[in-house]
Every structure is written in structure tokens, then in C-alpha cells.
Amino acid sequence: DQQVKQNSPSLSVQEGRISILNCDYTNSMFDYFLWYKKYPAEGPTFLISISSIKDKNEDGRFTVFLNKSAKHLSLHIVPSQPGDSAVYFCAASAFFDYNAGNMLTFGGGTRLMVKP
């Protein structure tokens, strides 16, 4: 199942610089996109999301950009901090109706390492 793909398995960034994590999707029915951060031995922690009616959403150091025509989203972290080192998953869902589950389809993850 390659509906959501994160092509970079890992990314290394210097502290204070920008981290850019990318995600591509193929299903045009997806209308809600999320980024999760995951530390070892913990569950995915919700970070930021964007709906298909927007092309940008910002929350503090985190900004998500959505390019619907390219079926591409990215997560920008500025400035990057050592505590940001984790695996980042993008996920997508499609809304059908309020009784549906809105299941998430996950990418494979990108391991971000922020070096002091």
C-alpha cells in the first residue's frame, strides 16, 4: 500500500537550522493530513494537521504546507532543536460521513536527527 509515501527514511539537520520533511500521496480522496512525532517505546504524538481547504497551517515552530495539485505536503520545523529528534509520520484520511471511521493511512516515517 503506497498511498502515502515518505521518500526520505532519514534526515540530519544542525540545531537552529530548518528541517523539511516531505510526504507524497496518491489518493485524491484524501482531504485531511496530519503529522505525528514518535519516540521509541511511545505511541505517535499528534503534531499538526491541515485540511484540504487550506494550503498552509502554522503552530509555533511547525508549519505544514499542502500542494494539492502535486499531491505533496511538507513539514517545516524552524528552528530545529535536539529534542525534535524522533521519527515523523505523515498520515492522511478521507471524509465520507460522520458514521465512518476516517481511518488514517500512514507513510513509512522519516527519522530526524538534530545535531547540537
* Cβ at position 5, least distance to another protein in Å: 10
Q: Binding residue for another protein (CB under 8 A) from 8, 22, 74, 105?
A: 105
Q: Binding residue for another protein (CB under 8 A) from 7, 27, 51, 81?
A: 51
Is 116 a binder of another protein (CB under 8 A)?
Answer: no
Task: Name residues whose C-beta falls within 8 Å of residue 95's C-beta, 6 or more positions apart in sequence.
Answer: 31, 32, 102
Please give the single-letter amino acid code of residue 33: F
Q: Outline where DSSP puts E strands in the chain.
A: 4-5, 10-14, 19-25, 32-38, 45-51, 56-59, 62-67, 72-77, 86-93, 105-106, 110-115
Q: Binding residue for another protein (CB under 8 A) from 12, 45, 67, 81?
A: 45
Interaction site with another protein (CB under 8 A): 1, 32, 34, 36, 41-46, 49, 51, 89, 91, 95, 98-109
